[in-house]
Structure 1
Amino acid sequence: MKLSYILLLLLSVTVSGCTSTSFTEDFRINGTIKEVIQEEEMLLIEGTPASGGNLATYEIPVASLYGYEEGQKVEVIVYSNTDADVWHLDNMKFDITLIE
């Protein structure tokens, strides 16, 4: 009897750990690539949120730097899996579109 309770508990913990949080669009950035950081596979993009706001510099990780150059205009859609207003890359995904 105890063994079945232990197995049920382990199964419920395993299943709850396998659920994933979905990402939803948080905001968009319109900007310019200011720097391509090779070592970190990161783009520094200077821009403003499409909804309005102040000019800021954003660090955006990319899977590949191929095709990105300083000076290119981009639109970045920022997705998040949390409601917290923090810039935490573990909770974010990015979709970058070149403009022009």
Structure 2
Amino acid sequence: MTQRAEHFTIMRRKPIAGYDISFLITNFHMEQMYKHKLVDFIINFMEEIDKEISDLKLSVNTRQEYVLQNFSKDFNLLCSCHPSSLLISFHDYS
């Protein structure tokens, strides 16, 4: 994102501490740009970022559920094969 900051005159190249992305809008920007388009851009930008974050969270949760299901299947197989002792083994599938 910082590599593309040069293309967005209102985006800071180095964000403020504690934030990943920050904008700097001055009176100069407000005089040279259409105000309604600037506001629309910021709102659209925030909506798109929010959508991407939601999609990433959903993807991580889906992957986590898949891994847990497969791990529990393997664990149940191990326990059913060796009921008298608990045996945990990790396979290297690479």
Same fold by TM (over 0.5)?
no
Query: Could you say which structure has the larger radius of gyration?
Result: 2
Q: Which has the higher contact order (CA 8 A, sep 6+)?
A: 1
Answer 1 or 2: which has greater strand percent.
Answer: 1
| Structure-2-length-normalised TM-score | 0.32
Answer 1 or 2: which has greater helix percent.
Answer: 2
